[in-house]
């Protein structure tokens, strides 16, 4: 088979007949404000964007193929690498899909810890979004303030799971392990400090007239268009649709938490910015409630054939040792069937379609990444805008290329 591959960016397909007044600009893949390796073919009339064509796939690593060759529990580590700013959300959706197929009951404590960690991760993810999107628009100091807060959350995640960017903390049937001693105190400390940081962000960006004029009225997408393009998460809520899967397709007991769904109606970059800023407060609220609910209890489901036994049990009980060996060496069989499991990740609806043929490896795993779908709507938002606003729009979409390209 031929391997003659030409990886030089293709001639701009839709710009085959350049007009006198139009030019094409290849933005990326190495452009800092494309948040990774995204290339945009921009067709410009002066400074106005006539057409924008996203070109993705530079980070494609065939993860969906890889899932089919890995046992269910081995797939968890792959999910960390997709949306690397929200790895716990990826872990969660993957293990919940497998748990749905296995019909596992997750103990209360594990559910609460999942909610707690996911909301902390959402704050961390939004911190990166705020820092980088402000950086794109020239506000450099915000970045450092945001990353200082993110660093605290990263330390918390590291304390719980041992990994910062790739925690793999949620396992099929529960958690990798219980929270370490003193973890709650550290979270409380963070929770105390965070509102002050939030005020700092508001002071730094919200009242800033440059920030306002760069985002207000830019990249507008109305309600019907947003639904038509499949936007979810803050992008959809910025267009006036109060959809939040934590409320409307609840999982992990989210229906019992008290939180609001921030909605803005303008549909521009400013609206998406406001929604995310208010979400930080809501996540803060949820973390606080989750902390109150943390009661001692088991963190793993009672399913010895699926969940790895405690090390201590393995030294005392022969059957635990056998189960451990079988799970690690052969994996566990998952009943035949297919599920679609959606959650509200920090960027929108993160869905996983998992199909099992009864064996220890999935037959098909497909990730519906919110970034992938949200990025597809970039052309409709940016056409007719100034070329400099494309940067603002990409920032407001909050994309992660690791998830888009998979």
Partner 1 sequence: MTEKLHEFVQKLKDDNASWIAEVKEAFGEVTIYVPGESIVDVCWALKTKHGFDMLADLCGADRGPEEDPRFEVNYHLFSTEHYNRLRLKVLLSEDAPNLPTVTTIWKTADWHERETYDLFGVIFDGHPDLRRILLPSDFDGHALRKDYPLRGYEPYSMN
Positions in the binding site for partner 1 (CB under 8 A): 1-7, 10, 13, 56-57, 60, 62, 64-66, 69, 100-101, 103, 227-230, 232, 241, 243, 248-249, 337-340, 342, 349, 351, 353, 355, 363-364, 366, 368, 372-373, 376-377, 380, 405-406
Residue among 131 and 267 whose Cβ is closer to partner 1: 267
As measured in angstroms, the least distance from the Cβ of 13 to partner 1 is 8
- Cα angle: 84, vertex 106, 104; to 5 degrees: 100
Indicate the DSSP class of residue 162: S
Residue among 48 and 339 whose Cβ is closer to partner 1: 339
* Chain centroid offset of residue 361 CA: 24
Residue among 29 and 342 whose Cβ is closer to partner 1: 342
Indicate the DSSP class of residue 245: H
3-state secondary structure of 388: helix
CA distance linking residue 102 with residue 391, whole number of Å: 44
As measured in angstroms, the least distance from the Cβ of 393 to partner 1 is 17
* Chain centroid offset of residue 200 CA: 25
Residue among 39 and 284 whose Cβ is closer to partner 1: 39
What residue has token string 């903390």?
A: 169
Tokens of 269: 């970059």
As measured in angstroms, the least distance from the Cβ of 231 to partner 1 is 8
Handedness of CA 242, 397, 249, 368 (dihedral sign): positive
CA distance linking residue 405 with residue 153, whole number of Å: 26
What residue has token string 């001692």?
A: 296
As measured in angstroms, the least distance from the Cβ of 80 to partner 1 is 20
As measured in angstroms, the least distance from the Cβ of 62 to partner 1 is 6
Say if residues 15 and 23 touch (Cβ distance below 8 Å).
Answer: no
User: Is the link from the previous residue into 200 a cis peptide, with omega within 30 of 0?
Assistant: no
Residue among 8 and 181 whose Cβ is closer to partner 1: 8
* Chain centroid offset of residue 162 CA: 20
CA distance linking residue 165 with residue 168, whole number of Å: 9
Residue among 56 and 146 whose Cβ is closer to partner 1: 56
Residue among 136 and 403 whose Cβ is closer to partner 1: 403
As measured in angstroms, the least distance from the Cβ of 224 to partner 1 is 9
Tokens of 143: 């970045």
Tokens of 183: 């973890």
As measured in angstroms, the least distance from the Cβ of 102 to partner 1 is 10
Residue among 90 and 132 whose Cβ is closer to partner 1: 90
As measured in angstroms, the least distance from the Cβ of 358 to partner 1 is 13
Residue among 87 and 370 whose Cβ is closer to partner 1: 370
Longest CA–CA span in the chain (Å) reads: 81
As measured in angstroms, the least distance from the Cβ of 222 to partner 1 is 13
Residue 1 burial (C-beta neighbours within 10 Å; 0-12, 13-18, 19+): exposed
């Amino acid at each position: 088979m031929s391997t003659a591959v030409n990886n030089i960016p293709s001639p701009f397909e839709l710009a085959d007949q350049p007009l006198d007044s139009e030019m094409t600009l290849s933005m990326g893949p190495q452009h800092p404000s494309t948040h990774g390796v995204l290339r945009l073919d921009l067709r410009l009339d002066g400074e106005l964007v006539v057409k924008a064509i996203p070109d993705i796939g530079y980070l494609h690593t065939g993860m969906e193929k890889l899932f089919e060759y890995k046992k269910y529990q081995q797939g968890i580590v792959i999910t960390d690498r997709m949306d690397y700013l929200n790895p716990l959300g990826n872990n969660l959706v993957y293990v919940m899909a497998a748990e749905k197929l296995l019909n596992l009951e997750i103990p209360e404590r594990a559910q609460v810890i999942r909610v707690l960690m996911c909301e902390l991760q959402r704050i961390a993810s939004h911190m990166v979004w705020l820092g980088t999107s402000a950086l794109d628009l020239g506000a450099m100091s915000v970045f450092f303030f945001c990353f200082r807060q993110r660093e605290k959350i990263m330390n918390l995640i590291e304390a719980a799971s041992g990994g910062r960017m790739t925690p793999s903390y949620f396992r099929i049937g529960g958690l990798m392990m219980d929270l370490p001693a003193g973890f709650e105190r550290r979270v409380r400390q963070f929770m105390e400090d965070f509102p002050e940081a939030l005020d700092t962000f508001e002071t730094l960006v919200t009242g800033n007239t440059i920030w306002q004029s760069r985002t207000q009225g830019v990249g507008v997408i109305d309600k019907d268009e947003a639904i038509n393009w499949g936007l979810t998460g803050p992008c959809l809520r910025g267009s006036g649709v109060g959809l939040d899967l934590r409320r409307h397709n609840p999982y992990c007991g989210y229906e019992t938490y008290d939180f609001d769904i921030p909605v803005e109606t303008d549909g521009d970059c400013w609206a998406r910015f406001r929604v995310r800023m208010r979400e930080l407060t809501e996540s803060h609220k949820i973390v606080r409630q989750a902390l109150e609910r943390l009661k001692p209890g088991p963190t793993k489901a009672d399913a010895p054939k699926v969940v790895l036994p405690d090390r201590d049990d393995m030294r005392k009980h022969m059957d635990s040792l056998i189960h451990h060996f079988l799970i690690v060496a052969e994996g566990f069989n998952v009943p035949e069937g297919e599920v679609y499991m959606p959650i509200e990740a920090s960027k929108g609806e993160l869905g996983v379609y998992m199909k099992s043929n009864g064996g220890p490896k999935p037959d098909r795993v497909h990730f519906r990444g919110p970034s992938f779908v949200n990025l597809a709507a970039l052309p409709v938002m940016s056409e007719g805008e100034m070329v400099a606003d494309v940067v603002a729009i990409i920032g407001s979409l909050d994309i992660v290329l690791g998830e888009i390209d998979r």
